[in-house]
Amino acid sequence: MSTDKVSVHGGWASRWVFILAATGSAVGLGSIWKFPYMVGVYGGGAFVLVFLACIALIGVPVMLAETLIGRRARQSPANALKALALEAGHSGKWSWGAFAGMITALLILSFYSVVGGWSLDYIIDMGRGDFQGVAADQVGAYFGGVIADPWRLTLWHTIFMLLSAVVIAKGVVAGLERSLRIMMPLLFVMMVILLGYSLTTGHFMEGVHFMFDFHPDKLLDGLLPAMGHAFFSLSVGVGSIMIYGAYMPKNSSISGTIVGVALLDTFVSLLAGLALFPIVFAAGLNPSEGPGLMFVSLPFAFGNVAFGQLMGVVFFILVAIAAWSSAISLLEPMVAYLVERTKIRRGWVTFWLAFTCWFVGLGTVFSFNIWQQAKFFVNDGAGFHLYQWGAASGLDFFGVIDFFTSRIMLPLGGLCFVVFAGWVMGRDAVRDELSIRSPFLFALTLFLMRYVAPIGILVVFAAQLWK
């Protein structure tokens, strides 16, 4: 059985460490920063509902597929697909899908690091007491000032990228466990405290209604964004969970573990939304504010409660750590691949990849200031332009990378992995890895991987095209 193999990059000491690492990867800016602002932009309940459905019917099967592919092959994603495809008598070209995924991970990291940098910046600002007693509009102006300064953003982007690269250079297995063991539970406690605060705002039910009232007319608009975000949030579709699966001990149950990680991640997203929106409404902020939502609503809350300054510092430290543990998982697949394929040392590979991501990330930094007017894919009354300076519509650089990765590449990567596990690897290999005892549950899992998830992804794409 191929699960006896070990990866050349090391392995987690136990299933528990895999759970920590996978949760560390999944729970990050996606849950705390991106989910709430997307719920705001796409109008609340309909988005949340589609998101939850996509997590359960598509995200979890893809996550299972990735983990079992990784653990069976014990190699980086591209090499894993190649090895398993050849083993099963199929074309080695399957590895191209994983390769595209690994590139996508690096593109995500380029902007992820910029936003991770915002949280680092806010640790200092909070600690300095910049938000003590502020009014809601002042927080908005403060955030506007932060992102208007390209030097400031570049500094924090650089620091964040360096912090992530250091762990990867040392090797994920050695670097991650100790910090996550303490930080993940603490993050959870902080979220609950914030929720407690939002209960006192007098606008809690408004937040609940916003998140869960279903408006069918908004369903179609949020369909592809919600599916894309389900992938983003679970860290699937690019090979991150696959490489973590490659370090998973044999004989530990995959299915229970993965369902647990997915539940935890979803729970943190919902918690973040429930904590944030009541504050947004109480402060009279705009829920469809966009990427700044968390960075204007939470400082307002922290600025206006007892011990808020301290709690704010702790909170943004935890957000930065959650982001950092996700960033690591974005870098690891390509690093592992290059270590396997070349003779270059892990440290150098990490340095050059992190540098490249950092460089691309400057485009995101500038999207919020000096390149704010640079718009791509402009579609106005005068027709379609690939690029136009100063157009009223279109996407900025950050928007393009986000759109391309979350809406297109993550679902396509997920499709590739789930079809691979469901159809290429063969039923026995899947059964062997999943070790699900109940025949019914195994049949259900295979059904989800073979039919529900792939068809679901294609249906969402089709619905978007014909909308």
Question: Please, what is the minimum distance in Å from the beta carbon of residue 375 to ligand PFF?
Answer: 26
User: Residue 247 in contact with residue 173, Cβ under 8 Å?
Assistant: yes
Q: In angstroms, what is the minimal distance from the CB of 156 to ligand PFF?
A: 17
User: Cβ contacts of residue 367 below 8 Å, gap of 6+?
Assistant: 374, 396, 397, 398, 399
Chain-centre distance for alpha carbon 25: 7
Query: Which CB sits closer to ligand PFF, 297 or 325?
Result: 325
Q: In the complex, what is the shortest distance from the CB of residue 216 to ligand PFF, in angstroms, rounded to a whole number? A: 27
384, 33 Cβ separation under 8 angstroms? no
Place of tokens 């992820």: 112
Contact footprint for ligand PFF (CB under 6 A): 25-26, 28-31, 105, 108, 232-233, 235, 238, 240, 326, 329-330
Q: What are phi and psi of 383, to 5 degrees?
A: 115, -165
Q: Give me the half-sphere count of Cα atoms (radius 13 Å) on the Cβ side of residue 134.
A: 25
Q: How far is the CB of 245 from ligand PFF (least distance, A)?
A: 13
Nearest approach, Cβ of 329 to ligand PFF (angstroms)?
5
Instruction: Using the minimum distance from each CB to ligand PFF, give the nearer residue, 25 or 67.
Output: 25
Between 66 and 289, name the residue whose CB sits nearer to ligand PFF: 66
Q: Which is nearer to ligand PFF, 28 or 361 (CB)?
A: 28
Q: How far is the CB of 236 from ligand PFF (least distance, A)?
A: 7
For the bound state, the minimum distance from the C-beta of residue 35 to ligand PFF, rounded and expressed in Å, comes to 8
Instruction: Pick between residue 414 and residue 456 the one whose CB is nearest to ligand PFF.
Output: 414
Which residue lies nearer to ligand PFF by CB, 327 or 446?
A: 327
3-state secondary structure (DSSP) of residue 342: coil
Helices (H), 342-373: 346-367
Complete DSSP assignment for 392-432: SSSB-HHHHHHIIIIIIIHHHHHHHHHHIIIIIS-HHHHHH
Region of 251 (left: φ > 0; alpha: ψ -120 to 50; beta: rest) is: left
Stated as kind and residue range, the H or E segment containing 428 is: helix 427-434
Report the C-alpha gap between 366 and 147 in whole angstroms: 9
Q: Which of 120, 458, 135, 457 is nearest to 303 (CA)?
A: 135
- Give 67 or 309: the residue with its C-beta nearer to ligand PFF: 67
Q: Which residue, 243 or 395, has its beta carbon nearer to ligand PFF?
A: 243
Name the minimum Å distance from CB 63 to ligand PFF: 11
CA distance 74 to 260: 22
Rank residues 230 and 365 by Cβ distance to ligand PFF and give the closer one.
230
Distance CA 421, CA 450 (A): 8
Measured distance CA(323)–CA(25) in Å, rounded: 8
Task: Measure the CA angle with vertex 413, ends 465 and 463; round to 5°.
Answer: 15
Contact 176, 20 (CB under 8 A): yes
Report whether 107 contacts 408 (CB < 8 A). Answer: no
Identity at 420, one-letter amino acid code: F
**Which CB sits closer to ligand PFF, 331 or 421?**
331
Residue nearest to ligand PFF (CB): 30
Q: How far is the CB of 240 from ligand PFF (least distance, A)?
A: 3
Report the nearest approach of ligand PFF to the CB of residue 83 (Å).
21
